[in-house]
Amino acid sequence: MSVKDELASFYECFALALESRDLDRLAQLYTDEAVFLRNGTAPVIGSAQIVQLFQGPPSTKKTTFEIGEVLEDGDLITDVGMILLDGEPVSRFVGVYRRQADGSLKMAVDVPMSSPSSH
């Protein structure tokens, strides 16, 4: 399986958990020491604290992630991609993923950006 295939599978699971606001499942997709960075706010550190940002009712829109520029170095993978709601770009993002001992990926750094600037 290619890294892009792994990311596509990760994003599918992440989107389903995000849409349904399944905080337990979301927490499992972040490393314990993950960092969430959003422009204009203090960093949020730790999976338990990060998932609290996603509290609320289930989403009425379909979330998808478009894989962008992927860089791989050892157990770290970085993707500079796009977040889409109902197929419309709403935000770019930088995600850094760490390969776990079992081979799975977990998000270590999550940086959504406010502008869906062009690819």
The backbone torsions φ and ψ at residue 103, rounded to the nearest 5 degrees and listed phi first, read 95, -10
The CATH class for the domain spanning 3-112 reads alpha beta
Rounded Cα–Cα distance for residues 69 and 66 (Å):
10
Whether 47 and 32 have beta carbons less than 8 Å apart is answered as yes
Number of neighbours of residue 79 by Cβ within 10 angstroms:
24
Look up the pTM and report it.
0.91
The backbone torsions φ and ψ at residue 69, rounded to the nearest 5 degrees and listed phi first, read -80, 120
| Site of tokens 């289930």 | 58
Interval 29-78: pLDDT, tens: 999 999 999 988 999 999 999 999 999 898 889 999 999 999 999 999 99
| Site of tokens 């550190």 | 45
* Domain coordinates in residue numbering, the chain: 3-112
